[in-house]
Amino acid sequence: MAMTFAVLTILSFSEVSNLAAMHDLNNKQHGSTISLLLSINIHFKSINGHRKHLLLKISPQDWRKNMVSLGIFTLISTLFLVLAAVPPTASSSKLSPNYYDHACPKALPAIKRVVEAAVNKERRMGASLLRLHFHDCFVHGCDASILLDSTSAFDSEKKAGPNKNSTRGFEVIDQIKLEVDKVCGRPVVSCADILAVAARDSVVLLGGPTWAVQLGRRDSTTARKTTANKDIPTPFMNLTDLINNFKKHGLDERDLVALSGAHTIGSAQCFTFRDRIYSETNIDPKFAGERRLTCPRTGGNSNLAALDPTHANFDVKYFNKLLKKRGLLHSDQELFNGGSTDSLVEAYSSDAKAFWADFAKSMVKMGNINPLTGKKGQVRLNCRKVN
Ligand code: HEM
Ligand SMILES: *[C@@H]1O[C@H](CO)[C@@H](O)[C@H](O)[C@H]1NC(C)=O
Ligand SMILES: *[C@@H]1O[C@H](CO)[C@@H](O)[C@H](O)[C@H]1NC(C)=O
């Protein structure tokens, strides 16, 4: 399917000789018998951004005898073959947390300021911004395609089922973009990176974990409404479908459970959980009764309910409630319904540290899905429009 490739970075022979010479000098000067260890970094990169490091330690004496070089290259080729068999996912080859350090060191603080103001005004905005990044990444990668308005050339993803009358926060993203371009003096920060940073800042503001956001994504020049309808999971899916959906995006069961923990914040509209509270049996009757009060059998489609009882705080209540059959969405309760993900839900419900660590890790992984880098795509001047 998708291409997998390996990049092998090894010290060149001249560098090796230099190091060996330095080693000799050191030995003469200090009479040291400690052998200089040479590191050979083998960076393996697959499209999902996993990077595997291997440190091989050999002494220069051995190297000079050329005893091991053949063996090393055999090992490298073997590794290449073995690692190339890893399932293809997304490339983050050029993303880095320091991407804007030189071009605009003021960019990240500026994003944070605007997110802070928006979340202080309305706490739910933190949830909405986190969800925007997710819905961006699940449609052909994190390329800000979700932000584009319709043109004669394409339909906006905002009109796709999972987004229509549901995703929000676009005005905040516009505001961030204006502010960031102002402090940077030019449009250097992509809309896709703004989404990734705003998601992280939102989680932190609501009391959740922090992580280093990988940066350097560029923005798409098209939107894909049909893909949005096909690739974003629905709240009506069963566990098998959820697992398969995430797998298609290079994410595993652990990522599914950890990232679903995002439902510890924010709200859902009545039509997304009506069937669950009126027709399902794996639901606490008292909880179903409470939810029915504001979500009638007919009408009230857009009435809101909290995704977890502490939906303004990033905590483990979401997982706690799943254990009690109090998940709001069908897809939420699927994670604890006698299947393979039960044990992880149980673990997270009593271990905030584990949830936080995994959530941060999975957010980085999700943010690495198929980014546009190098000369691909563009840095939009206006997040709603192609330049
Ligand atoms: C596992 C599959 C998922 C499904 C089926 C799903 C489905 C939904 C649905 C139906 C809503 C309510 C939308 C509305 O009523 O307008 C929602 C809200 C939300 N989702 Fe998910 N979601 C999933 C995964 C995720 C992930 C991976 C994240 C982020 C990492 C996320 C973050 C959120 C947030 C924060 C909200 C609240 C948004 C707000 O209040 O504005 N969800 N989700
Ligand atoms: C969209 O949402 C608004 C309020 O959130 C609601 O009044 C309206 O009926 C919804 N429209 C559709 C088509 O669901
Ligand atoms: C999950 O749902 C799909 C339909 O979307 C169905 O084909 C499949 O049999 C279901 N799997 C289970 C285990 O219920």
User: Is 241 near ligand 3, meaning CB less than 6 Å away?
Assistant: yes
The per-residue DSSP string of 23-78 comes to: HHHHHHHH---PPPPEEEE--EE-TT--EE--EEEE-HHHHHTTTTHHHHHHHHHH
pLDDT at residue number 36: 28
User: Is 262 near ligand 1, meaning CB less than 6 Å away?
Assistant: yes
pLDDT confidence bin for 66, thresholds 50/70/90: low
pLDDT at residue number 94: 82
Which residue reads 């510890």 in tokens?
264
- Beta strands 267-269 and 55-58 are unpaired
Tokens representing 160 are 């796709």
Eight-state DSSP code of residue 301:
T
Burial zone of 272 (CB within 10 Å; 0-12 exposed, 13-18 middle, 19+ buried): buried
**According to CATH, what is the number of the domain 107-266+307-367?**
1.10.520.10
Cα 286–290–291 angle (5° rounding)?
A: 120
Tell me whether residue 139 is annotated as binding.
Answer: yes
What are the domain boundaries of the chain? 13-83, 107-266+307-367
How far apart CA 159 and CA 166 sit, in angstroms, is 10
Q: What stretches of 209-263 adopt beta strand conformation (E)? A: none
| Residue bearing the bigger pLDDT, 31 or 127 | 127
Reduced to 3 states (helix: H, G, I; strand: E, B; else coil), residue 221 is: coil
User: Is 340 near ligand 3, meaning CB less than 6 Å away?
Assistant: no
Mutate to test the pocket of ligand 2, among 298, 301, 303 (most ligand atoms within 8 A of CB): 301
- The alpha carbon dihedral of 186, 190, 195, 199 has a sign of negative
Cα radius of gyration rounded to whole Å, the chain: 24
Least confident piece of the model among 42-51, 167-176, 285-294, 331-340: 42-51
Q: Judge whether residue 12 has pLDDT over 80.
A: no
How far apart CA 76 and CA 339 sit, in angstroms, is 40
Burial zone of 207 (CB within 10 Å; 0-12 exposed, 13-18 middle, 19+ buried): middle
> Residue 377 contacts by C-beta under 8 Å, 6 or more apart in sequence?
143, 190, 218, 219, 220, 221
Count other C-beta atoms under 10 Å from residue 151's C-beta.
12
Up-side HSE of residue 381: CA atoms within 13 Å toward CB?
3
Cα 288–344–268 angle (5° rounding)?
A: 35
Q: Kindly report the average pLDDT of the chain as a whole number.
A: 84
Ligand 1 atom closest to Cα of residue 259: 27
Ligand 3 atom closest to Cα of residue 238: 1
User: Is 135 in the active site?
Assistant: yes
How far apart CA 379 and CA 256 sit, in angstroms, is 30
> Residue 243 contacts by C-beta under 8 Å, 6 or more apart in sequence?
253, 256, 340
Tell me whether residue 136 is annotated as binding.
Answer: yes
Reduced to 3 states (helix: H, G, I; strand: E, B; else coil), residue 378 is: strand
User: Is 244 near ligand 3, meaning CB less than 6 Å away?
Assistant: no
User: Is 238 near ligand 3, meaning CB less than 6 Å away?
Assistant: yes
Distance 25 CA to ligand 1 centre (A): 61
Ligand 2 atom closest to Cα of residue 271: 14
Reduced to 3 states (helix: H, G, I; strand: E, B; else coil), residue 209 is: coil
Note the pLDDT tens digit of each residue in 246-289: 999 999 999 999 999 999 999 999 999 999 999 999 999 999 99
Reduced to 3 states (helix: H, G, I; strand: E, B; else coil), residue 341 is: coil
Residues of the chain above pLDDT 70, percent? 76
How far apart CA 18 and CA 31 sit, in angstroms, is 19
Distance 159 CA to ligand 2 centre (A): 13
Q: Judge whether residue 153 has pLDDT over 50.
A: yes
Predicted TM-score (pTM) of this structure: 0.80
pLDDT confidence bin for 30, thresholds 50/70/90: very low
The mean pLDDT value for 286-300 works out to: 98
